[in-house]
Structures are given as structure tokens and as C-alpha cells.
A = this chain, B = another copy of it.
């Protein structure tokens, strides 16, 4: 199937019927002009799908959104940055619910029609007076071209706003999917979280929407790692309001086309997150193939991508395949040392578990680039898995030393 979609502008407000806005309400003290509260609203009835962190320590907004997600008609998402509302006990749950309630009141909805997300400092109560005042201003702030404002409002240590949108012709009419996201990795001192918000005007029933979102997330946000630390707040939410009209997209070819377009949006956003990994100087794809099982391929790829020593070597432009062999050896996957081949952008570095005849200068040429691919062929089966990651830099450590 060739690509049946094209990228367009407009981000999360590219799909019809969505309005989005952001205000500064004062959660982020250090930067008074920076927006820290955003609202995403579908003017028409909509359904929602979502995936959440699998961390057993879950922030209050994750718990509340998981609860409200059962509702059929979800119309809005309220998000704050600067405070994660995590490890805040029953008061945190009450505050998260109150955010939904305030947003619902401002929009004339029920509170269970609003989902909620937070990102920022862990263990500190939300400043609810400021948030209440901010939410009251949001209905006047939302606009049909407000995507960029919201993308900026959810940033913590991100260095650029992350937006993407596509238009696809499916079943005779044009549908759109848009998205915004914020940085991966537990980033700033006490800061956390990857958040992504997606909208579409395609008519997709809730069960199909959830299935397709789960599949898209598995191929994108679940395949990126900056530091291996999974946050308490990670959330991806997709709202579908059907404003594009036409028959429901549920199965068959229309569903496949929608999935392809959605996959593109989530992949682009997840790549931007890795590109913006804190203090990173390299963008590396780790591809493991020839594994006995997909689980083995995944284990090997994730272990390489999270190895402190492998990541330090990349930072130093060092084509150190010994550390990759070492990580493959302890990852828990079935491997046979003498079967392993390793390539840097297709250049053979390791053959049969030993140094290849490739001159080291050729490997250096690859790892000196800002982007490259490390491929590990286990030569034991036919399963493969890819992960996108960064190097580990002295700047990352300094950035996360806190105080």
C-alpha cells in the first residue's frame, strides 16, 4: 500500500470541529509568561481512546482519566504543566476531578466528559486556586487554530513544540488527524512524562478507535527511550468527532488506511520526542533482527538502547561494538555469540561474534554522524524489533542533577 495521506499544517486543530487554547495560570513560577494550562475541546460529540503508563505508581490524573474514559461521549481534555499531581494521595485525586469539573462547567459539559493530564514536579499539591482561575479563562482562549499554543503550554524541558497533522482520502471523503506531544524521559529535576494528544474528524466508533490507537502507540511511543525511566504520568489520548462525515471507519480497507495515517502521526511525534531528548547529540535507531521471538528481539534492542556504556560510547563517536555484544549477552534473550553480526548503517562491524575486517575509520565515519542505525542480526530466527534512542551526554547528567 502506498501512502494514502499527506502532511498538512494545523497540528491538533487541523481536524474539523476542534478548538484549542492555552493560558498562563501561575503553576510555572519561574517563567511568568509561559503558558501552563491547555484545553482541547471538540464542539461536536466525540469519542475517546487512550493509553496510559504501566507504572504501578500512577499520577492522580491518570487514575481519573482511566475512570472517565469509560464514558461514551468525551468532549475535552484539560492539561497542566509544571506539576505532575503524582504521589499526592486522595487529595490529588480530588484535585484532578476538580480540574475536570471546572473545565466541564466552563464548557457546559458533564465532568466525566473531560479527561485530565498533568506533567511536572512530583509530590507537590496542585495550586488549585490558580488552576480554577486559569480554567475559567480558557473558553475565551480557545481557537480553531490554537494547536501551537497548546503544544507550547505542555512543554517542560522540551526545546521545540511538537505538532503534526495529516489529511487522507478514505472512503470518498477527506479525513484529518492531528497531534501534539511533549518530551520523553524523566526530564527536568522532578519533572516527568511523555504526553501526546491526538484529534481526528474521522467517524470511528470507540472500540475500533481504542484498538487502532493501541496499535499505533505500540509502533511508536512504545519504541522510544531516552533514559529507560518510565514516568508516572505518560498518557496518549485520541478524540474522534466524525465531523468529516460519511460511513463509520471500523474494519476493512478504510480502517487500514486510517491506521496507516494514524501510525504516521504517532511515529512522527515519537521521533520528535527522541530528537529533543535532553542534551542528546545523537539520534540512533537500534534494530535487532534474526531473533527467535519478537520478545527476544525487543529485549535485545531495549537493553542496547538503555545501556549506559553503549550510550556514552555513541556520545564520544566511539564505534565500540564490544559494549553492544556485552549488552546482547546479558539482555536475557537467547543468543549464540558466534552467530551475532553487527552493522553500523549497513557497514559490517562484527561478523560471527568477532571484529570484522572493516577498517575502523569506516565505522568512525558512521558514528560521527548525528543520526545512524545500529543493526544486530542474531541469526537464530526471523523476528525483529526497532527502538529509537539517544546518546548519554555529560550535559544530560548535569541537567538532571537537580537541587
Contact = CB atoms under 8 A, between A and B. Distances in A.
Contact of A312 (B89, B192, B397): B397
A353 B84 CA distance: 14
A354 B123 contact: yes
B87 A309 contact: no
Contact of A322 (B87, B321, B338): B87
A34 interface: no
A153 to B, nearest CB: 22
Nearest to A123: B355
A186 interface: yes
B355 A325 contact: no
A189 interface: yes
Interface string A370-403: 0000000000000000000000111111101111
Interface stretch (A35-43, A54-62, A95-103, A144-152): A54-62
A230 B313 contact: no
B229 A354 contact: no
A87, A315, A320, A328, most chain B CB atoms within 10 A: A87
Contacts of A335: 56-57
State the copy count for this chain: 2
Q: Give the dominant DSSP class at A's interface.
A: loop
B229 A326 contact: yes
Contacts of A308: 227-229, 308, 392, 400
A317 B403 contact: yes
B403 A322 contact: no
Contact of A323 (B56, B186, B353, B394): B186
A122 interface: yes
A247 interface: no
Contact of A122 (B124, B325, B402): B325
B313 A401 contact: yes
Given A57-B326, A330-B56, A401-B316, A87 B353 contact: yes
A323 B326 CA distance: 27
A319 to B, nearest CB: 9
A156 B181 CA distance: 45
Contacts of A330: 54-57, 229-230
Given A229-B309, A320-B402, A353 B57 contact: yes
A121, A318, A320, A322, most chain B CB atoms within 10 A: A322
Nearest to A332: B56
A164 B157 CA distance: 47
Contacts of A338: 89
A309 to B, nearest CB: 5
Interface string A34-77: 00000000000000000000111110000000000000000000
Contact of A393 (B313, B336, B397): B397
5 contacts: A56-B329, A57-B328, A87-B350, A229-B323, A231-B326
Interface of A: 54-58, 84, 86-89, 121-124, 186, 189-190, 192, 227-232, 307-309, 312-313, 315-318, 320-323, 325-330, 335-338, 340, 350, 352-355, 392-398, 400-403
Closest 9 CB pairs of A and B: A316-B401, A122-B322, A57-B329, A318-B402, A312-B400, A55-B329, A394-B394, A230-B330, A227-B308
Given A86-B325, A87-B353, A123-B350, 6 more contacts: A56-B329, A57-B335, A189-B318, A312-B400, A313-B401, A397-B397
